Amino acid sequence: MKEKELPVNEYVFNSLIIGHARSNDMESAHGVLGVMKTSGLTPSAETYMNLMVGYAEKGDMESLEKVVKECESSDISLQNREYMEVIYALASKGHSQHVSVFIEKLEKVFGYQQDAMNLIYRLINAGCDEVAYQMFETMPVPQNHEGEIAPVGTFFLRQLIRSGLYSVVTIVQYCQKMKREGLNLYAMERCLQFALSMGRPELALPLMRVIVEDGGTVRSHYFWPVFVQCSNEGDKEKLYRTVSEMLALEVPVSLETCREYIMPSLLEKDKDEEPVILRLKESGLSVGSIINGSVAYYLGDNDIVSAAHLCKYLTVYFNAKYIRHLIFKSKEQE
């Protein structure tokens, strides 16, 4: 490169170290430091970091410790950024047992919270949730003037769900851990909120069960996003199962839930309603709720004929005030 008068700078040597490391030639990677010094360049913290990451990916703690000592003897100051890259390299390559050595070297300086959060996001996305939680535990917990702890860890839980890598069992374990440690008493409810907003019913329904088992409250509208997804997927069987799950958790199926979220996916114009009624009955829904919800849906769709047919089909108690309002509204739209 010198003969061709191409610039030989730190970036070039750093790239050589990375290249040798990726080729599993750590001896040559370390040797680049000597070549660099011979060329009149002083290795920087960035250079040593690239070398350390190479050793970390191999799980070579002995060589890592030697590089750290070499930095100290050369007055090279390694900062949080360098140590965090080493932590990520160790964890992501299956050497999580060594990360504590470098976590202890981290300093709680200005900007630490954001740097730690960014590393936690990367670790969670790499499937390294345990190390991510170790990093989370290093973050200072905010307190008010009375010494009370503000709920923390929401970002951690959100990323667990967003990544799509973790089972509901793992998510519940972290929620319970945060609750036990007094870090976030509403961790489970936050996870349910995230699962619903991200369209993850396979997580939402088990989370609702755990909340109820723990004495919490689950409300009818929590199920609406689940019903919407069933509708979008055209999965009627999942919808029936969701109704059963709702009733098993002793959550009342409101008239609004029937009209807006259940019946639109099940009732079809000019089709016999009896199979739908029978399936909903098998799911545990009362005939009164089924007929009221169906009539309300038809009237809301300005289909008075179908509504009248159902009223004649079965004799049930109607929510007169609500049905009367829908009839008037339906007539106004004619």
* pLDDT score of 249: 93
| 310 or 111: which leads in pLDDT | 111
What lies within 8 Å, CB to CB, of 153 at 6+ separation is 136, 174, 178, 183, 184, 187
Q: Is the dihedral of CA 115, 118, 122, 125 positive or negative?
A: positive
Residue 298 burial (10 A CB sphere; 0-12, 13-18, 19+): buried
* pLDDT score of 147: 64
**Residue 4: pLDDT above 50?**
no
Over residues 43-71, the mean pLDDT reads 93
* pLDDT score of 223: 94
| 106 or 41: which leads in pLDDT | 106
Q: Which amino acid is at 17?
A: I
* pLDDT score of 5: 47
In 3D space, the residue among 40, 76, 39 whose CA is nearest the CA of residue 51 turns out to be 76
In 3D space, the residue among 275, 215, 223, 217 whose CA is nearest the CA of residue 244 turns out to be 223
Round the average pLDDT of the chain to a whole number and report it: 87
- pLDDT range class, residue 36, cuts 50, 70, 90: confident
- pLDDT range class, residue 6, cuts 50, 70, 90: very low
- pLDDT range class, residue 251, cuts 50, 70, 90: very high
**Residue 331: pLDDT above 70?**
no
| 334 or 25: which leads in pLDDT | 25
Least confident of 21-25, 127-131, 180-184, 316-320: 316-320
**Residue 217: pLDDT above 60?**
yes
* pTM across the whole model: 0.84
Calpha distance 320→55 (Å, rounded):
75
Over residues 272-285, the mean pLDDT reads 90
Residue 263 host element (H or E): helix 263-266
**Residue 1: pLDDT above 50?**
no
- pLDDT range class, residue 192, cuts 50, 70, 90: very high
DSSP letter string, 296-327? HHHHHTT-HHHHHHHHHH------HHHHHHHH
Over residues 246-261, the mean pLDDT reads 92
* pLDDT score of 35: 86
Q: Which amino acid is at 295?
A: V
* pLDDT score of 270: 61
* pLDDT score of 27: 87
| pLDDT tens string 294-308 | 888 888 887 777 777
- pLDDT range class, residue 315, cuts 50, 70, 90: low
| Percent of the chain residues topping a pLDDT of 90 | 57
| pLDDT tens string 147-185 | 667 789 999 999 999 999 999 999 999 999 999 998 999
Least confident of 36-45, 95-104, 211-220: 36-45
- pLDDT range class, residue 96, cuts 50, 70, 90: very high
